[in-house]
């Protein structure tokens, strides 16, 4: 292993922290310097992530690769252990892509952009840390670290909204989001301590614990069953699981653009990832017991999210509910317990992360120009915002599963997996995709095409910065849609190992 290979994973955590630390010492008025450093760090993160992804040996390599371990707290068996498997590798890449796009879009922030970027980089460090940790303590450590900055990011830089019948001040969105996620994360806290004690290994290392699952006397079925349910709710909430999803649309409506991008793009994926990492890998009996429930909830997520999106006419609420709907496919894929379904679930996390970040980039751009997100007021923007429209339409088409874009591959795989196990629920999932087509096309038709209101005559198209951010997101959307092989062959060994653990 080269020097670079040995240290790439820890660099992914330290680099954003270092960026945050450097920013602390730059005077507040130096706004463009702050932007420059931040975007450069974002670019460096994407390059490092790509490097880690490419360095991952999908062909016969070890399950967890690029491993590093540093002693941290011997008395409790905690080590700063890092490593990625086939499921974490695409998530690392996703984080790199969305981080770069997010730091570029965040350059639009005018007020105190120093503090904003510091918090944003802490969030990014937390997300990377969660994806690459092999130690359950650090997994949880970084998971919480990713949540904490959200409160200030939304509460300080967010926007309050007034609707006809109700108000959504930004503090409301921020508080609801943080309190609900932290409350759920405490279930995970209990699960992690429970697993640690029950495994009897005296270690928090995932590989060490996995080796003991099958030993008699460890991880009884009752234990796994209870723990899995807690894992499912704890992580599921962050992934927008019905009926605990309500923080997600409210949070997105309040959040500034780049926070929405990172949140829907990568933070919600921590939920799905956590269910696979802890629920499926460490509690396989629990999954078998609750698979049907997870399947049903996933299907409800798909339909409920889509129907709710249909009823909304605020752009961010539409995208927020569409996220709830799309995360449902992730649950369905996991619950199918098939290789195809799990692959689809992982790919869906990747595809949805990219497309939803793209959505928010454009929606944020529209909001900054028009100060409204109401689709009843926004009409015919296409003639003024050609590029903005193009990007939005492509994200929309990816969202409704048009072949040639990443979303199609992912959903197709999930459906195949679903039909193999629960054909009826699978069919309902397809119905959800059909509703998605309705609300996306209706939204595009109303907002971008049709007759333009005089109000929008002076509207300007995307700034070069927004254009670049959108392009960063657009490329992988097409690439994965047209040629998903590189991603699939990395995911595959990860999924196979998970299935081997499930005994399927």
Q: Closer to other proteins by CB, 200 or 423: give it.
A: 200
75 belongs to the binding site for other proteins (CB under 8 A): yes
Q: Closer to other proteins by CB, 189 or 449: give it.
A: 189
131 belongs to the binding site for other proteins (CB under 8 A): no
Distance CA 206, CA 277 (A): 9
- Binding span for other proteins by CB under 8 A among 141-149, 305-313, 333-341, 438-446: 141-149
Minimum CB separation of residue 203 from other proteins in Å reads 12
| Span between the terminal Cα atoms of the chain, in Å | 34
Figure out which of the listed residues 7, 22, 43, 189 binds other proteins, where binding follows CB under 8 A: 189
156 belongs to the binding site for other proteins (CB under 8 A): yes
Cα Dmax for the chain: 73
Q: Which residues pair with 133 in a beta bridge?
A: 82
Figure out which of the listed residues 54, 76, 377, 424 binds other proteins, where binding follows CB under 8 A: 76
Specify burial of residue 210 (Cβ count, 10 A radius: 0-12, 13-18, 19+): middle
Figure out which of the listed residues 152, 233, 497, 499 binds other proteins, where binding follows CB under 8 A: 152
Minimum CB separation of residue 488 from other proteins in Å reads 34
Tokens 């996995």 identify what position?
A: 210
50 belongs to the binding site for other proteins (CB under 8 A): no
Minimum CB separation of residue 10 from other proteins in Å reads 14
304 belongs to the binding site for other proteins (CB under 8 A): no
Distance CA 204, CA 226 (A): 20
Figure out which of the listed residues 1, 47, 73, 292 binds other proteins, where binding follows CB under 8 A: 73
- Binding span for other proteins by CB under 8 A among 183-191, 295-303, 352-360, 443-451: 183-191
233 belongs to the binding site for other proteins (CB under 8 A): no
**DSSP letter at 374?**
B
Q: Closer to other proteins by CB, 30 or 421: give it.
A: 30
Figure out which of the listed residues 40, 62, 186, 434 binds other proteins, where binding follows CB under 8 A: 186
Minimum CB separation of residue 295 from other proteins in Å reads 28
> What values do phi and psi take at 52, rounded to 5?
-60, -40
CB-CB contact of 321 with 308 (8 Å): yes
Minimum CB separation of residue 484 from other proteins in Å reads 36
Figure out which of the listed residues 5, 10, 171, 496 binds other proteins, where binding follows CB under 8 A: 171
Distance CA 107, CA 385 (A): 20
- Binding span for other proteins by CB under 8 A among 177-185, 295-303, 460-468, 475-483: 177-185
User: SS in 3 state form for 463-500?
Assistant: CHHHHHHHHHHHHHHHHHHHCCHHHHHHHHHHHHHHHH
14 belongs to the binding site for other proteins (CB under 8 A): no
Instruction: Compute the CA torsion angle 500, 502, 503, 504 (nearest 10 deg).
Output: -90
> What values do phi and psi take at 168, rounded to 5?
-130, 80
Instruction: Compute the CA torsion angle 328, 436, 439, 160 (nearest 10 deg).
Output: 20
Question: How big is the site for other proteins, counted in residues (CB under 8 A)?
Answer: 33
21 belongs to the binding site for other proteins (CB under 8 A): no
- Binding span for other proteins by CB under 8 A among 73-81, 261-269, 398-406, 475-483: 73-81
142 belongs to the binding site for other proteins (CB under 8 A): yes
196 belongs to the binding site for other proteins (CB under 8 A): yes
Minimum CB separation of residue 16 from other proteins in Å reads 13
CB-CB contact of 248 with 268 (8 Å): yes
* SS3 assignment, position 87: coil
Figure out which of the listed residues 55, 79, 94, 178 binds other proteins, where binding follows CB under 8 A: 178
Figure out which of the listed residues 26, 148, 310, 402 binds other proteins, where binding follows CB under 8 A: 148
- Binding span for other proteins by CB under 8 A among 87-95, 191-199, 294-302, 377-385: 191-199
Alpha helices in 422-463 (DSSP H): 423-448
Q: Closer to other proteins by CB, 230 or 347: give it.
A: 230
Closest CA to 264 of 175, 394, 353: 353
Beta strands in 46-144 (DSSP E): 65-73, 78-84
194 belongs to the binding site for other proteins (CB under 8 A): yes
Q: Using CB under 8 A, which residues numbered 90 to 119 contact other proteins? A: 115
Closest CA to 405 of 431, 374, 440: 440
Supply 325's token pair. Answer: 């709907």
Tokens 């290392």 identify what position?
A: 205
Distance CA 64, CA 78 (A): 18
Closest CA to 62 of 496, 493, 504, 501: 493
Which residues are near other proteins by CB under 8 A?
Answer: 71-76, 115, 137, 140-142, 144-145, 148, 151-152, 155-156, 170-171, 174-175, 178-179, 182-183, 186, 189-190, 193-194, 196-197
């Amino acid at each position: 292993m080269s020097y670079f290979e040995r240290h790439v994973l820890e660099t992914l955590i330290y680099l954003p922290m270092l960026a945050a630390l450097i920013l602390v010492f730059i005077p507040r008025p130096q706004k463009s310097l702050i932007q420059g450093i931040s975007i450069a760090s974002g670019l460096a993160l994407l390059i490092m992530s790509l490097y880690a992804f490419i360095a991952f040996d999908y062909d016969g390599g070890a399950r967890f690769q690029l491993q590093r371990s540093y002693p941290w707290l011997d008395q409790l068996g905690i080590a700063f252990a890092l490593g990625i498997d086939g499921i974490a590798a695409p998530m690392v890449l996703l984080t790199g892509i969305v981080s770069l796009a997010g730091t570029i879009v965040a350059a639009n922030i005018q007020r105190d952009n120093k503090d904003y970027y510091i918090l944003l980089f802490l969030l990014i460090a937390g997300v990377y840390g969660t994806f690459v940790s092999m130690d359950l303590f650090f997994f949880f450590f970084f998971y919480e670290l990713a949540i904490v900055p959200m409160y200030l990011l939304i509460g300080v830089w967010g926007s309050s909204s007034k609707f006809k019948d109700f108000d959504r001040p930004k503090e409301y969105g921020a508080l609801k989001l943080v309190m609900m996620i932290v409350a759920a994360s405490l279930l995970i806290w209990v699960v992690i301590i429970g697993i640690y004690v029950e495994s009897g290994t005296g270690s928090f290392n995932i590989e060490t614990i996995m080796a003991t699952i099958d030993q008699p006397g460890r991880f009884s079925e009752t234990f796994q069953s209870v723990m899995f349910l807690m894992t499912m709710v704890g992580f599921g909430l962050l992934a927008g699981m019905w009926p605990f999803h309500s923080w997600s649309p409210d949070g997105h409506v309040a959040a500034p653009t780049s926070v929405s991008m990172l949140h829907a793009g990568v933070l919600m994926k921590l939920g799905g990832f956590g269910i696979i990492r802890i629920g499926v890998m460490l509690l396989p009996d629990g999954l078998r017991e609750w698979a049907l429930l997870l399947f049903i909830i996933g299907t409800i997520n798909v339909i409920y999210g889509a129907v709710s999106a249909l009823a909304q006419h605020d752009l961010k609420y539409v995208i927020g509910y569409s996220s709830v709907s799309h995360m449902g496919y992730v649950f369905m894929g996991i619950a199918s317990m098939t290789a195809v379904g799990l692959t689809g679930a992982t790919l869906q996390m990747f595809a949805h992360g990219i497309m939803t970040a793209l959505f928010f980039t454009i929606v944020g751009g529209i909001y900054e120009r028009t100060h409204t997100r109401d689709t009843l007021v926004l009409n015919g923007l296409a003639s003024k915002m050609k590029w903005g429209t193009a990007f939005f339409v492509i994200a929309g088409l990816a969202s409704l599963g048009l072949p040639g874009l990443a979303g199609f591959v992912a959903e197709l795989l999930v459906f195949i997996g679903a039909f193999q196990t629960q054909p009826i629920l699978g069919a309902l999932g397809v119905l959800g995709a059909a509703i998605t087509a309705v609300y996306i096309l209706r939204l595009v038709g109303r907002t971008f095409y049709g007759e333009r209101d005089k109000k929008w005559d002076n509207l300007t198209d995307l700034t070069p910065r927004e254009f670049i951010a959108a392009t960063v997101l657009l490329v992988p959307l097409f690439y994965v849609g047209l040629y998903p092989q590189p991603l699939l062959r990395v995911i595959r060994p990860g999924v196979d190992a998970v299935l081997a653990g499930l005994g399927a």
